[in-house]
Structures are given as structure tokens and as C-alpha cells.
Chain A
């Protein structure tokens, strides 16, 4: 009798779960998805960003890439040093740096007037994520999945505050560090694993992107940048990787009948101190940004002055630390007349 009752209650419980609880959870989750999609600021943010680029008028140079470029390169500084008008068009995630963003971009600006296009990518420094960086990648939150999980919402008390990127960019598209929190402390002494993707895998993607950018900006010099990162106290020798990557990059490009002078690749040196980073190993703070931007400018100057190796490409600037006096001169983020000797 007792056994029968137990069986009966189990059957009832199973039936309740199958026809009541599981459908209810699915319906509740659908409601959550609707709410989450209504709160998605990613797409609106991107549209706003591209509108800002259009408002800035005709640009000579564009900085593009993911958050590493957003935090760590300054279009304002490059404008100051080169006397040209640069804009930092980078996104807050490298995943969204695909064709759709560029297509949006080129409808808003005169693409033939762009003389320089800098693309900064962490792709060769991450393993197994090539698929995340394809040209036709969607924007986060654009698909059916929510931007944040239910557990993440619950952890934040049902509220997930998010700052719109448009609120933290200046007129050059650069991040304004006064408006964000660089939360480095001794406790979160983040460092980066010295990971290098197989050259063949990352090369394929970089070449695809380089050719795509070159076709979108026909009169521009395309500069593919492998960014600085903070690796803690780790000491390593990347010379072999850098050389192999550069050699293969130019070799594959030549095979595709690309003019060597149009597309270049640069590997930037790692950040020397944790005092140069903001909230992650790829994200510089103001000092780190000035340092990295200076390093990039030096490469561009060398490149234009035809300081080249035997293959006709500029020397690698790895290890060539930026001149501190020049770096400090970059700090005032205001537009100044260009120095004549640096003007292109």
C-alpha cells in the first residue's frame, strides 16, 4: 500500500515536471530573453560610434581593432605627431571587428581619402579563437543568446550596469581615462600566459583581413599591429615567432600579388611594468597608451623613411623603447600644430 502510494506520487511528480515545470521554465526563459534583448546596448553603441566617425568629417588615418586598440592607442596623439586627422574607430571587443562594421563605416566616410589604416589584433596571441575573429562575425547580443547569463544578472541583483562607450570616448574616438576606473590593485596582479597561436592559423586570418582592408581603403597604407601585452615577470624570447610571422606574412602577401609597401606588419613590445596597464593585460592605462602609441609612431616614421630590411620592409621595432621625453610630450591630449619634420 505504502509502495503504491510512493509510486503514485512519483508518477504525479514526474508528470508535473514534464508538463508543468519544464514548459514553465522554457516560457520564463523566453520572457527573460525578450527583456535582455531590449536592454542590449551593444548594437546601439556601435551605431552611435559610427555616427561619431561620420560627424568627425574626412579622416586621413583610422585606428581599428578591439579593446586593445581602444584602450592602448591614441588617435589624438598620432594626429598631433603626424599632422593628419586620425580617428580611433576601434570597438570594445575584437569579435565585432568584422566586415559589417567596416561596411557601415565606409558608407559614412570617404574611403578613398583614408591614407593610413591601422588594425591592431590580439589574434596571434590567443589560442584556438581564430573562429571568433572571422570577418563576418556577428555582434555580441545580436543572436538569440542573452548578453549576460541569468546567474550573472542574479549576482548583480537583477541589474547589470553597463556604460555606453560613447560616454567614455573623446572627439578622436579615444578612451578618456578620467571617465573609467583602472582597477589595478596588488591583489589582481593579472598577467598573461605567453600564448602564441600556430603561425599558419593566425596568418591565414591576418592575411584575409589585410587584403579585405586594402580593398576597402584602396589608397591607404595598411598596418597590421600585434599589440603590447603585460606578461608579469615572465621572460621570454619572441624573436623567432616574430621573425617567422613577418617573413611568412610578406611571403604570402607577395604570393597574392600585393605590393609590399601597401601592407605592413608590426609586433609591438610587451609592457615593461604593471603601472602601464589599466584593467587587463591588453588594456593600457594612460601611461601605457602614450608609450605604445609612441612606439607605433616610431615605426610609421621608420617605415615612411624607408628604413627597410633586405626584404624591403621596415625593421622590427621590438625592444626599441620609446624615448621618455617624447612620450611625456604626448601626454597633453590636445590638438597642436604638427611638428614639420614629422609631417608626411
Chain B
């Protein structure tokens, strides 16, 4: 396993679209242009319905629907314009263009046109930049892998995917399976996603005020809460979109693969936001490794990732920190020091999340002084609403289960198989529906729509 871990980002594309389980049950075949365009069209309705169900918007109405249509058309138009501009350039400039495209979100963030990811709602105010970070990264990847086509434009500007990703790095068809089979396989993903998003992520937003506490224990507690929130929100929505697309007959990347079923940070990153990992590997890791070697390539990858998330000091620190942890882990694994690499993963994830969460730099510095001030946070946690406390417990249970049982047959394929067992599905459904209420917390996509 350690040696496998050293093979960085090995077969990431395979992880995304053709895992062993998928090969065994539902094979992929390339989708046709018509399928991609068809999905793009019906995604209007899907986005409107999902917005209603997940984001507690008004009752289904024309105003909402027209807004969805408008945003989607603008995204499609921008994608077409970008691709036309790309085609207008000659080959050497395309090389530069893909990097400009990837960092376009960095430029717009620096100019204040798009928002930095802070855990709060990061939706762009500018309608022309709706879903900008996702489709520019998609086009950059498609340009790199020479896959630009009408199908790929329809895939990366798909309104459903622009809610929260994944980046459209692959787009296969599963139409050759009957609707019944597709429903049976993909519907459980929707329930798992619903549970993560509604029963865990949404109530945890009620604990966001704890970011103001700067002592060591409170900062750690907030890092745990925020990690749970980001995972449950982002992964939950990704799983739902994965399930919906699968039922329709289109396979998109599975953006999360039980990241906590890991023994070190390298494995962790192979399960977290896999579509972005694919893009980063293609655009940054492979070419830099060839010219500068592995370790500089890792730094380049994390700094690029940091800039994609936002142009603030905390993200630079986050990038440098995670690159260092990653390199240190490689050193540990080469010496077969598994326990230190595991401890480093826990510390790396928590400290990394603390850096990610707080864009208020003076407050972040105060937190990094690691001052001890007792267990103030316990009083504050006790004051949280019951739904938030329950969400915290469920979230911790979810992550600990991923971690502890990672060798078991239901966990080792890292595709949420355990949570797709019928009896577990029933438990998740009851827990979700039992806790949902309108004022339990904020509904939004943490990575969404910027």
C-alpha cells in the first residue's frame, strides 16, 4: 500500500470513471454529442428542482426557472467563445492558453469579480462568471488532452455540473443499461449525498461563529467542524449530482472517494476532489516533474491549487503547508514509517483546514500562536442547537467509520458501498428526513457557482 501511495495520482482518470467496481457492473462507453447536449437541456429543470429541494428557494416558479436558463445560456456562450478563441490561436500559444484559462479564476478573484472560497457562500455576483472556476478548468484540461469538441463544450458548461462541480474531465454514457438498472445502482448515491448535505453539512453552519475563538482547543474544534462541513457539503452535493446524472444515463467523475479511508495524506488526496486532482496532475504535476523533479512539482501543484481556491495569504500558506506535509509523508513512507505518516495526515488535515477556513489573517496568526485557554469551546458547543450537535456526532461517526473500517470489503473500494447497503440506506433516509427543517442552517454549495 505504501508503495502504491508513492505512485502519485496513479491512474487518476481510471479512479474517476472506470474503477474496478464500475468495470464489473457498469462499463462506460464514450457519449455522443447528442447525449451531452440532451443532458445540457434537461439540466435546466434538474437545477431548478435541486435548487428547490436543497437550497430552500421559493416554490418552483418561472422566475427561478428563467434565472437558471439565463445563467446556463451565459455559461454556454462563454464556453463557446473561449473555445473559439482557443481555436483561433496556433499550437504554441495553446500551451500558454490552458494555463491562462486555469488561472482565470485567480485573476477574477484578484480583481474582486469572483469570491475567494471561505466556507461561506462564494457565488459570484457577476452573472457572466457563473460557474467560471469549473468550466475554465474543464476547458484547460480538454485543451491539454486535445479533446475539445461540441460534446465537451456541452459537458463542461452543463448547468448541473456548474452548481458545485465536478470538473468535467470525463463524460461517459451508460445508456446501454436499462433505466431500472441505472436507478438501482445510482439512486443510493443520491440518498448518501442527501444525508451528508442535509443531515450533516447544513446544521453545522450554526457553528460557524466559533471561528472567532482563537485559543488552541477551540481552533482545533473549529477545524474539525469545518472539515466535516466542507466534506459533507461538497461530497454530498457531488454524490447527488453523480447519482442524478447516472440515472439519466451519463457517467461523470465521482468527485469523492472516501478520502478518510486513508492511512496517509497521499491517499487522502486521492479521494478528495478527484476531478481537480486530474486537472492538476495533467497541467502541473506531470510537466513539472519531468523538468524539475517530484518535490518541486508537488509545490507547484499545491500552489496552483491554492490560487484556484482564492487569492489570499491563508491560501498561500495552505498550499505551502500541504505540499510540505505531502513531501514529508513520502519521506516517511520510503522509510516504511507508517504510524508517523498517519499522525501527519490527521495533523495535516486539521491544520490545513484551519488555514483554509480563516481569511482574516491577524486572527489566523493569533490561532497559530497555539495559546491554551482551557476548554471554553465545550461551553459553546453545548449551546449549539440539538440538530447541530447531532450533525456533529453523525459527521464524526461517518468519518471514523471510513477510517476504521477501510480494510473491510464494504469500504476498501472507496465508493461509499457500505452506505449503499439497503438497511444503511434506510437508516440514512430516516436520519435525514427526521432532522430536516427550514431553520436548521444554511443551504448552499461551499464550492459552488464561482
Does A128 lie at the interface of the complex (its beta carbon under 8 Å from any beta carbon of B)? yes
Q: Is the CB of B59 within 8 A of A142?
A: yes
Nearest-neighbor residue (CB-CB) of B430 within chain A: A25
Please give the distance in Å from A12's CB to the nearest CB on chain B.
Answer: 11
- The answer for the CA separation of A127 and B53 in the assembled complex, in Å, is 25
Does B324 lie at the interface of the complex (its beta carbon under 8 Å from any beta carbon of A)? no
Contact-residue size bin, chain B (C-beta under 8 Å from the other chain): 35 or more
- The answer for the CA separation of A170 and B397 in the assembled complex, in Å, is 49
Which of these, B52, B386, B438, contacts A147 with CB under 8 Å? B438
Does A126 lie at the interface of the complex (its beta carbon under 8 Å from any beta carbon of B)? yes
- The answer for the CA separation of A94 and B383 in the assembled complex, in Å, is 20
Does A195 lie at the interface of the complex (its beta carbon under 8 Å from any beta carbon of B)? yes
- The answer for the CA separation of A148 and B386 in the assembled complex, in Å, is 12
Does A152 lie at the interface of the complex (its beta carbon under 8 Å from any beta carbon of B)? yes
Q: What residues on B are CB-neighbors of A13 within 8 Å?
A: 422-423
**Beta-carbon contacts under 8 Å, A118-149 to B:** 126-132, 138, 140-149
Q: What residues on B are CB-neighbors of A195 within 8 Å?
A: 209, 211-212
Contact-residue size bin, chain A (C-beta under 8 Å from the other chain): 35 or more
Q: Is the CB of B437 within 8 A of A148?
A: yes
If A25-B430, A127-B212, A194-B212 touch, does A145 touch B438 (CB 8 Å cutoff)? yes
Q: Is the CB of B437 within 8 A of A145?
A: yes
**Beta-carbon contacts under 8 Å, B267-315 to A:** none
Does B429 lie at the interface of the complex (its beta carbon under 8 Å from any beta carbon of A)? yes
Nearest-neighbor residue (CB-CB) of B359 within chain A: A198
Against B, the Cβ 8 Å flags (1 = close, 0 = not) of A8-35 are: 0000011001100110011001000000
Does B31 lie at the interface of the complex (its beta carbon under 8 Å from any beta carbon of A)? no
- The answer for the CA separation of A198 and B438 in the assembled complex, in Å, is 26
Q: Is the CB of B209 within 8 A of A127?
A: yes
Does B319 lie at the interface of the complex (its beta carbon under 8 Å from any beta carbon of A)? no
Does B92 lie at the interface of the complex (its beta carbon under 8 Å from any beta carbon of A)? no
- The answer for the CA separation of A148 and B59 in the assembled complex, in Å, is 18
- The answer for the CA separation of A148 and B433 in the assembled complex, in Å, is 11
Stretch at the interface among B80-88, B411-419, B439-447: B439-447
Q: Which of B421, B430, B434: most chain A Cβ within 10 A?
A: B434
Q: Is the CB of B52 within 8 A of A143?
A: yes
- The answer for the CA separation of A199 and B140 in the assembled complex, in Å, is 35
**Top-7 shortest CB links A-B:** A128-B208, A17-B422, A149-B437, A195-B212, A131-B121, A145-B438, A14-B422
Pull 16 A–B residue pairs with CB atoms less than 8 Å apart, ordered by A: A14-B422, A17-B423, A21-B426, A22-B422, A29-B433, A128-B119, A129-B442, A130-B121, A143-B57, A143-B58, A144-B52, A144-B53, A146-B436, A149-B440, A151-B434, A190-B383
Apart from A127-B208, A130-B120, A152-B437, list 10 A-B contacts with CB within 8 A: A18-B422, A21-B426, A22-B422, A29-B433, A128-B120, A143-B58, A144-B56, A147-B437, A151-B435, A193-B212
